[in-house]
Every structure is written in structure tokens, then in C-alpha cells.
Amino acid sequence: GQIEEADRLYTAILKAQPKHPDANHNMGILAVGVDKVQESLPFFITALESKPSVGQYWLSYLDALIQLNQMADAQSVLDQAKGKGAQGEAFEQLENRLNELNKTQVKADPQIDDQNQVSPNILDNLELGQAIRLAQRKSKDGSSKDAKHIYNDILTKFPKNKKALDGIKSLSGGFTGQTSKAQDPPQNQLQHLTNLFQQKQFQQTLESAKQLLLKFHNSSALYNIQGAANAGVGQLKAAIDSYKRAIKIKPDYADAYNNMGVALKDKGDLGAAIDSYKQAIIIKPDYLEAYNNMGNALSSVGDLKAAIDSFTWALKIEPNYAKVHFNLGMLLLEMSHLKEATEHFKFSYANSQYYLLRCLYLQDKKSLFYDQLDYLIDRDEIHPIIGSLVCRSAIKYGLERPNLFCKDPLNYVLQTDLCNQYNFEKIFVVTAKTILQENKVPNKIQPLLINGYQTSGNVFSSKSYLTKEIQKIIRLEIDKYLVRFKDSNQGLITNWPTDYSLSGWLVSMKSGGELQPHMHEKGWISGSIYINVPEKLRTNSGNLVVSIGEDRISGKDINQEKSIDVVTGSLCLFPSSLLHYTIPFKSKEERIVLAFDVVPKR
């Protein structure tokens, strides 16, 4: 009895698969159920064209024709059904019913029969092509009632005319009150817009959506696509506004809630993002992507148990969903549950093979580790995690392997003084302190950070309007880095990503603060800009240390790491395969660093 929900779901199916036989048939049934029998015909016809062997489709179509008093058409359709082998008691009963009705019509009052013939068919005066164009023009002008009447006239004489079938379907717009409020463009126009978005032509998607919204100003689907395109160009506030408009038109729009959650998370508003994902799941309890996204958001705010529960629910719905296995594996790896993480990384998704390698190394499973490492090297896989573990395993096990990423990463560390080139105070210091003082970017749970905090999300996305100039400078400095090492034959340079994004965050430390050894697995090269470095009370206090091995120097080969004497205005760039950490410092001043990764776009 949940007609509105059924209507919404069948409409969604038909947007994805316009010829789906069951969905078309059941949409026809819904239309008949709300006394829109004429509108049911195109759906029944499409169902029959897709799967004429289903007897129920013929019965439903025949019943609708009889309700419309189109006896001649019903008789013709019944003959077609019998010609295709339709038989059984239901068809016999319907044939008897049709015969009885035909007899009744013959005996009917001639005046009534005349009244039924008063309204002429549009094709009595126009050619088929002219009638189609007139209906399309009426639809475009907003005269949907006139357009529907013309299409029905065409279908009376040409029941399989595709343009009339598509036209009347586009005018139906759902059969129930709530759904019919939406005014979406024809499917082919929505598909074109979707194709532009999937090709990452975000600006063109926005321009096309804007033009369509002038006509279809009440289209939830258009606002949803507009939101996704705005997010694609980094306009997160505009994206969220678009999603809100989509939801206002269609309050049960689960996709819009999920997409809004993604934009809110990127903006740094994790609490609101989680609420948005929850709403999507309330509407659509089996929404895999929303469970997955909510798990990631919960992980970011440190609610690890709830995050695991969210991922687990997703896997109950789809046990082989590799994307969720990957994200759950990442969470378990962060929690040092290595054995459990290993099992999830066995599902192939994104960089799962690299993290499987890392889990095996951390568990000291030497034989399995080298099996996986050799497998990846044989496949010419080039990635910072592999490069890092080739170096670290050589130190740990004394076994050398080719390093396809960067054999001598310490030689690719570059330090630059930005104060000599730019207005550092205005561009970097003021911007960073503004973001921190606004207190609108939530902090991330960072167990490696002692006596300090780190902002969550990507500050370049959430604060794009503030960081525009900073991003421009970083990209310029990265270009200089590439020029500096242009003659290198290392995979780091020769396989430089054709396109990349910047992911950044701010780190603030108080006296005694330090960051323990780690690497940035998602980067290609990593960087740090030192917004404020307190005066050093000891020679190395507060220094950045980049390292090949995971152990800090304690009588080992000094060539395994490099200590960088950073000061306010320093920019350090280094391969993401290097581990790095900071030396603790003592000061009354706050130490502020803008850290970032060059993340390859795939």
C-alpha cells in the first residue's frame, strides 16, 4: 500500500534501465491503480516489447484497453497475444469478457455512441510527424495537458510509436502526489548531463545544468547533479546548497543526502556529514555507499567502534563489497589489528595490494611479505608504499630488491625559503591563523601527535577561498622541484602523475610537542610549510627528520636519515616513501605547520 514509495523506486529503476520489463509493467499497474489508465499504456507496451513471453503483461495491457473502452484495440491485442502462444483460463475469461462488452456496445444507445465519437483524432488533420512536433512544442511551452492529449491520439492509431511513448512517459512524472511535484528533464538530457559529469567536465556540467534549470526549475535530479559538479570544482558551499534544494523538492532523496554528506565531510563539518548519511540510510536502509561513507566519517571523528559497525552493516548487505573491505582494513590497520586488516586487504580494491604488503611486513611474516613484494615488482607497480618497504626490508632482513619508486629518496629532499620569494606573512601566516582562529575546521584524532592537534579533512577544499593563493604557490614550487630533478631516472620522476590534487591540513603543537615516525601513503611527494617555528632552545629542537628506516638514529648508519633545520618560512618537499618525524621542542610559542600531499588522480 506504499504507493508513493513504489512509484519513486520504479521511476529510479526506469531512469537507469528505461526498457526494464517488470518496472514498466508495474508502473503501468500503479497508473491504473490511481485512475490514470491512459498513462499506463506506454508502460505496458514497453514491457511487452521487452518481454512478450510474459502472459501477465498482455493481461494487464488488455484490461487497461477495456477500461478505456478501446474495444477494437483490445481485440487486436488479444489476437496478437494468442498468436504468440498466450493461453490459459485468464485469457479465456478475458476473451469472454471482451465478447460480452462488444455485444453490449452494439445494443447501446446510438446517441451515446455518437458522443464517444465527437472528439476527433489529431491525425485526422495532421501528418504523424507534424503531430509529434506539435506535442513536443506544447510540452516545451508547459502545456502538458494538450501534449498528453496529442500523444494519446497518436498512440490510439500507432500504439508502438516510440516518440509518442517516450513523450507521454516524460509527461507522466510519477503518479502520486509527492513524486509528481518534481519536474525532471527527459531521460536523454539527464543522461547527457551525467556523462559530462562522469567525464569530469565539471564546468560544462554546471553550465548545462544551469540552462536546464531555467526550464525545469523544480527538478531534484538537476539540483543533485549540479551539487556534484560544484563539489567537483571545489565549491563545497554551493554544492551543499544545491543538495538542499534537491531535498526540499524531494524529501526522500537518499542520493542527495548521501552526496551532501560527502560535501560536508570535505568541508570539515563531520558531525553534519554523519547526520546526512544517517538520513540517507533511514530513507534507504540498504544504502551501501552511505554506510561506507558514514564509516569513514565516524573514523575521522575518532568514533572507531561506530565506524566498524557501519562498515560491518555494509558487508552484511554485500559481503564482497571490496571498497568497504578496503576502508575497514585501513581502520583496523590504524588500530594495529594487523591480522584482521590483512584479511580485508585480500579483496582487490584501489591500493589494497600495497596495504596487504605493509600488514605482512608489520607482522614480520617474511616469506609472505617477499612473495607479495616480488609479485608487485614483477608487475612493475610503482608506489610510495612499495618504495618505502623495499628500503625498510633491506635494512631489516638484509635482502635487496629493485626499488621502482625511488632508490635513494634522501637525495630527493628539497628545502626552500619562501620568505625570499613571497609575502609570507600575508599569504601564509595570516591565512593559517585565520583558519585556526575561526575554529570551524574540526580536529582529527591523531595518535602520532603529542601535545598538539591536527585539522581534519582537506583544508584546501574546505577553505578553498582562503587558500587559493597558497595552492597556486605550492603548485609553482612543485614545478620547480620537477625541473630540479628532471634528469632523474627514478620512478618518482619518470612516472610523475599526469594530474594530481593537493590534500592539506594544519598541525599545531605546544611546548613539548612532537610527531612520531610515519609516512603519507596516499601521496606521491609530501611537503610541509612552516608557518611559525619557535626560537630553538637546543640545536635540533623542532627539526624535521626524514628517514629510510622506522627506527630513530641510535648509533646506526647516519645515512639512513636526514635532519632538516626548519625555520619560519621553510618549505620542505620529499618523496612520500620516506618516513618522517619531528624532534620535540620547548617553547612558550605555538608551532604551526601546513602539511600537504601531492595526490595522484586516478
Q: Angle CA(454)–CA(456)–CA(458) in degrees, nearest 5?
A: 115
Find the angle CA(170)-CA(173)-CA(178) to the nearest 5 degrees.
170
From CA 61, how far away is CA 49, in angstroms rounded?
12
What is the DSSP secondary-structure string of 160-172?
Answer: T-HHHHHHHHHHH
Closest CA to 594 of 477, 447, 420, 492: 477
Buried b (16+ CB within 10 A) or exposed e, 15-38: eeebebbebbbbbbbbbbeeeebb
- Structure confidence at residue 127 (pLDDT): 81
The confidence score (pLDDT) of residue 180 equals 38
Query: Residue 256 carries which side chain, given as an amino acid letter?
Result: A
3-class DSSP state for residue 594? strand
Of residues 73, 12, 33, 26, the one with CA closest to residue 54: 26
Question: Residue ranges of the chain with pLDDT lower than 70?
Answer: 1, 101-119, 141-142, 171-182, 439-445, 551-559, 602
Sheet containing strand 449-455, strands side by side:
414-417, 570-575, 525-532, 591-600, 500-515, 449-455, 443-444
Q: Is the dihedral of CA 239, 245, 251, 255 positive or negative?
A: negative
Residue 29 CA to residue 47 CA, distance in Å, equals: 12
Give the pLDDT score at 179: 39
Place of cell 543522461: 191
CA atoms within 13 A on the CB side of 492: 35
Q: What is the pTM of this model?
A: 0.65
pLDDT score for 142: 67
Predicted confidence at residue 569, as pLDDT, reads: 97
Residue 290 contacts residue 312 (beta carbons within 8 Å): no
Helices (runs of H) and strands (runs of E) counted in the chain: 29, 10
What distances in angstroms separate CA 296 from CA 189, 262, 329, 333, 568, one per listed residue? Answer: 34, 10, 11, 14, 34
- Residue 319's pLDDT is what? 94
C-alpha cell of residue 487: 634528469
Q: Note the pLDDT of residue 388.
A: 96
